[in-house]
Structure 1
Amino acid sequence: MQSKDSEIVWEEKPKLVEPIYKIEDRPAKWWESVLYGWQHTLVDISPFVLPLAVAAAIGMNASEQAQFINFCLFSMGIATIIQTTLGNRLPIIQGPSATLTGTLVPIARHFGASTMWGSVFIGGLVEMLIGASRILKYLRLFFPPVVSGVVVICIGLSLGHLAVRLTIGNGQVINFLFAMLVIGCIFILQVLCKNLLKGIVARGAIFFSIWLVGLLLAGILGKVDWVLVAQKPWFSLPGFFPYGGPGFGWKFVWAAIFGVMA
């Protein structure tokens, strides 16, 4: 019979890593919370990629696409605050679903944006009723880990494919260099600067790397277009129902509604 040590794959025994902040902990400084929250938002690619896919299907221009992303980020913030205070209270950012986006794109393309909003509205109400009825624990029997795992892998591959396309852009060599510099900068800050400012620089390595390479260096080299940024106000709140609403613009098509709920 083999010993436990002979079954270890790696050279060292695996051990549990104690998290820096536990589920009920928070940073001592408010600006540190802003840093980690901002970094998490930058890392979460879904609010940037998925709205662009829907916006392209609707036919939005660049200015409308930027506004659409702002709407998405604002809604994500409200949903995350509700979920982390009144909901499951887990440190998880709420955001758009890649599976739902795959349904919304053909709906928007074939039925139009008004039908897409109407179907999402009805689908959201149905999902809310399912959650309130607490029957989800019985429905989980139809979604074993093997099914859920395949779905998560497909979502990851889909988002990774879009992320690579956005990174490559028009195929210029400078785009690859920027991507490698961001990755290299992250490793340098995490390894060589792990004790700088009590570890804050290392924990915010992604945030600092994106700003240093993606905005500062790319801006110096003239690869950042600030025209669209200059045209927009620094602070702006989204209006209610900017694309119509129930009874004044939205359309309800059963085929689209079933597609969203599926």
Structure 2
Amino acid sequence: MSADTLGTETPPQRLSAWRTALFGLQHVLVMYAGCVTVPLVFGEALGLSTSTVAVLVNADLLLAGAITILQAAGLGRLLGARMPVVVGASFTSVTPMILIGQEYGLSAVYGTMIAAGIFGVLVAVPFSRLVRFFPPVVRGAVVTMIGLSLIGKSVTMIFGDQPAGGSRLALAAGVILLILVLMRFGRGFLGQSAVLIALLLGTGVAALLSMTDFAGVGGADWFGLPRLFLFGAPSFPIAGIISMCLVMLVIYTESTAYMLAVSETTGQRVGPRRLARGLAADGVSALLAGFLTSFPDTIFAQNVSLVRMTGITSRRVVGVAGGILVVLGLVPKMGEVVASLPTVVIGAVSLVMFASVAGVGIATLSQVDFSVGNNLLIVSPAVGIGMIPIVAPDVYAELPSAAKIIFGSAATSTVIVAFLLNLIFNHVGSTSRRSASA
């Protein structure tokens, strides 16, 4: 028996072809809205045209599909966790990418991503052996802050420069309410597709209210390949590289947590070797994203939940999901449709998705015993400092570019503080001072 498996590992499931395809499609429906939200938020923040955002959406879907297949099938002993996981664009990267784009331009966004991808591949093995330095007290604080930091962007998408009220508020509230009702009372496939159903119905209502513009869809091609270096030759500002490398470490903590969660269902032991292969695939996604003008990928929590709820642990199912994503990524017309969706509807859906990310972080923090040790002293300052750029966006405006990009991101500032405090309080000095934070 290998070091990466347990004797109780669930035997491979044998499903019929139609069930495999159906369950694969279900995985796509569950993660689709979250995956395409990242390029939509990024494009909106940097004022990109609808056609440009459409290109980003297609590249995003194509890369997510390819890395999902890689994680499911594996590439020898080099890459891929060989687990039933689905990946998509990471919310963690959004704020740092926006800050880098505003400070250095779009070419720097993807240059720093290439550097971060190389860094991620190089540190995958060492990181897999240092999981103890990223216990729930650190992971929970960081993931919570990721969700909180993105909520403001969803509100901006809903209202733009307009005051709250009127049809936009009513439509956004209706979309959010529909998602909650379907998730609470929907059964099986209906409940799992709540976000997509709300997105489609919300768009239909927006069309009736003249809030949509799909004029560019007709001119889009049915087939197309991603464009390399869409924004020109990449540049590599040091501050941006540092920030994106921190993002990779945050992505690694997320993916580690989700692989551990899947292992509880499959019976697979996520040992250092399996973990390193899975993390290295995340690093490869960032490296390729820099060339394809996409986004770094991470394992999606909603798909982890779907595996748990359905008990479908077949890697073929998520392989089919990856194949569907690849096909969608090769259809520019689909990217144009997604990019043309009304921002008020996307903002409402994003609000629920981002709040769910924060909820995952809170659930992780619930594993921490705050009555012992220094755990409260780790979370409190980390969350407090992480909130600074959220509640006071201009507080770092006068700092050098490097400091502004690193500390202007709630996620990166939180991971720095939480990691250092955990290291100081729970690992430095006498072992008697280490708390039960893991």
Q: CA deviation at 1:172?
A: 4.7
1:204 paired residue number: 193
- Alpha-carbon shift at residue 135 of structure 1 (Å): 1.2
**115 and 36 in structure 1: CA distance in 2 versus 1, 3 angstrom threshold:** closer
Q: Name the residue aligned to 2:226.
A: 238
More displaced stretch, 154-163 vs 32-41: 32-41
| Residue in structure 1 matched with residue 123 of structure 2 by the alignment | 130
Residue aligned with 2:216, SS: helix
SS across alignment from 1:227: coil
Aligned partner (choices 133, 138, 141) of residue 147 of structure 1: 138
1:40 CA displacement: 1.9
Q: Choose from 99, 105, 129 the match for 1:106.
A: 99
RCO comparison, higher one (Cα < 8 Å, 6+): 2
CA distance in 2, matches of 1:225, 1:183: 22
8 Å Cα contact 1:186-1:209 kept in structure 2: yes
Secondary structure of 1:231's counterpart equals coil
Structure 2: how far apart are the matches of 1:193 and 1:147?
A: 34
2:88 to 89, 94, 105: 94
Question: What's the counterpart of residue 147 of structure 2?
Answer: 156
The SS at the match of 1:135 is helix
Structure 1 residues 82 and 180, CA gap change in structure 2 (3 angstroms): same
8 A contact 1:46–1:159 mirrored in 2: no
Alignment of 1:173-188 (within 5 A): 173-186=166-179
Distance 1:149 1:46, change over 3 A: farther
Select which of 235, 240, 251 maps to 1:251.
235
Deviation at 1:46, TM superposition (A): 4.6
SS of alignment partner, residue 94 of structure 1: strand
Question: CA 1:115/1:137 → structure 2, altered by over 3 Å: closer, same or farther?
Answer: same
> Where does the alignment leave 5 or more consecutive residues of structure 1 unmatched?
1-21
Give 2:199's aligned amino acid: I
Q: Which amino acid aligns with 1:231?
A: G
Q: State TM-score, norm by structure 2.
A: 0.45
Question: Which residue is equivalent to 2:68?
Answer: 80
The code of the aligned residue for 2:87 comes to I
Q: Is the CA contact 1:51–1:69 (under 8 Å) kept in the aligned structure 2? A: no
C-alpha spacing 1:159/1:45, structure 2 compared with 1 (3 Å):
farther
Residues 29/142 of structure 1: CA separation in 2 closer, same or farther (3 Å cut): closer
Letter in structure 1 aligned against 2:59? F
CA contact (8 A) 2:51 2:216 kept: yes
How far residue 121 of structure 1 moved from its aligned partner, in angstroms, is 1.0
Check the 8 A contact 1:182/1:214 in 2, yes or no: yes
Instruction: State the TM-score, normalized to the length of structure 1.
Output: 0.70
Residues 78-105 of structure 1: per-residue CA shift (max 9 Å, x gap): 222222332232433231342x333333
Question: Post-superposition shift, 1:125?
Answer: 0.8
Is the CA contact (8 Å cut-off) linking 1:23 and 1:91 kept in structure 2? no
